[in-house]
Chain A
């Protein structure tokens, strides 16, 4: 049957000529195009990594590994070190993490265990999801005008310098922003705990609290940890909200109420002002460090989540 003989009888008696057009695109060409699209994504990521590395070369060559441990960030003398920002980043992120976990694990338990169906949990779930949709700059704005005055009042009471902004305020704002991430993953893994395990414990006379403590949390434990890691990754990279309330100081913060800078916030603050290629290159190297740290944490978290069989 070649092309012409395929001009065949249709339903009915007369032979009609139809134009069986060969498809404009053959299967193998189409599959190649699809593969190219996949490869483009791969290339984009590689290009991102290598662009960062290459642009950081001047700084890497100049400072080497000292960059990570030097506490001096002095654009005037062209002396750059990342340590104050590493401290700022880790301090705000871990403090935010601790505060957020205090809320996200209860949310996960509430939505996954106590109240899984119905109008109330749906409402709560939607509201938490909306929290993740609020733009970061609005969080920063509200943090600056709503939260900072309160923190300033607290600092006055405590006899500390009343900046209002600083690590504490940034951590508070950050903690609210990252709650949705650990809450949603936590909820999923908790709801995946097989009910026959829970029923077995209940039938032995355990209270709900004991079932949660001894059956649910151990079972869902690593998934909850993965969700927390995910929110940590989010916290490390958060820029705008932190920039607006962290106080913009390039020195190692002395205490929890000190102003500081994170890797992300110093880049946001100084990138457009950076004069000289070493200055810019150092800022980009900060970006490279941020990229590597967040990528590692995110991938570990996703690996754990996938092992637990939860769709992210």
Chain B
């Protein structure tokens, strides 16, 4: 029996009068990779931005319903604390250009004014970069700026930066769509390794990637959660007709 790390109940999201998520009910299993798929504009990015409370930064944005992280209502908590518990990696790698690789990884602490002993920081940086499969490549250049790294390396740096905070859940918003195939496969391998450490929610429009990497899959269409289940079953024998049509490419 899978244990649930994140429970989404009757959740809706709005941009002004426009409803983009309609009464979504979803339980994200712990230490697994859950893919969220759907055609462009279906609301999948909005959904994960609601999970780490970034959606509300847009003026006119509104939500209703509940999301629970480990039984705590994240909308009843300070969003800053929520975002330290739920990390996010974006579509386009965005390391901080004014900081070194070392400072980028530890940025979550530095920017929040949290003082750590030097060897504590070193340990966190090394472990996060190791978990992001980047340590060997940058260990000799930790104090250089991160902008000389390739796209794939920059994205792994962003993953390390998110991991350094020790989040319970990691949200990945189409993390490989800006990368070349080789970098993409590295990241996919990495994601699979990471599920021992964090629970992963992966938004992707790349069905093949979802099939390769995920344990569970959710199909969202026009703001509604159409179907959710183990990936093996979803991709071979989907229950809903819409899911089947999407997977076979009838629309995208």
Contact = CB atoms under 8 A, between A and B. Distances in A.
B166 A21 contact: no
Majority SS of interface residues in chain A?
Answer: loop
A1 B72 CA distance: 6
Given A11-B164, A18-B116, A23-B112, 12 more contacts: A1-B77, A3-B81, A6-B84, A9-B166, A10-B165, A11-B124, A11-B163, A12-B123, A21-B114, A23-B80, A23-B113, A24-B113
Contact of A20 (B69, B77, B82, B84): B84
Contacts of B70: 1
Interface string B146-189: 00000000000000000111101000000000000000000000
Contacts of A6: 81, 84-85
B197 interface: yes
B82 A1 contact: yes
Interface string A1-19: 1110110111110000011
Interface string A142-170: 00000000000000000000000000000
Contacts of A8: 85, 166, 168
Contacts of B115: 19
Given A9-B166, A11-B124, A18 B114 contact: yes
A129 B219 CA distance: 59
Contact of A11 (B81, B82, B85, B166): B166
B131 interface: yes
B189 to A, nearest CB: 19
B128 interface: yes
A105 to B, nearest CB: 42
Contacts of B163: 11
Nearest to B166: A10
Contacts of B74: 1
A11 B130 CA distance: 11
Size class of A's contact patch?
10 to 19
A1 B82 CA distance: 8
A20 B127 contact: no
A3 B72 CA distance: 13
**Chain A to chain B: the 4 pairs with minimum beta-carbon distance, closest first:** A10-B166, A11-B127, A1-B72, A1-B77
Contacts of A24: 113
Interface string A54-90: 0000000000000000000000000000000000000
Contacts of B128: 11
Interface string A252-273: 0000000000000000000000
Interface string B70-93: 101010010011101100000000
A10 B77 CA distance: 20
A20 B81 contact: yes
B148 to A, nearest CB: 25
A91 B106 CA distance: 65
A6 B82 CA distance: 9
Nearest to A27: B80
Nearest to A24: B113
A10, A21, A24, most chain B CB atoms within 10 A:
A10
A20 B168 CA distance: 17
B109, B112, B123, B131, most chain A CB atoms within 10 A:
B112
B75 to A, nearest CB: 11
Contacts of B131: 11
A31 to B, nearest CB: 13
9 contacts: A1-B69, A1-B74, A10-B165, A11-B127, A18-B109, A18-B116, A19-B115, A20-B114, A21-B113
Nearest to A5: B72
A12 B69 contact: no
Contacts of A20: 81, 84, 112, 114
A25 to B, nearest CB: 11
B92 to A, nearest CB: 25
Contacts of B124: 10-11
B112 A21 contact: yes
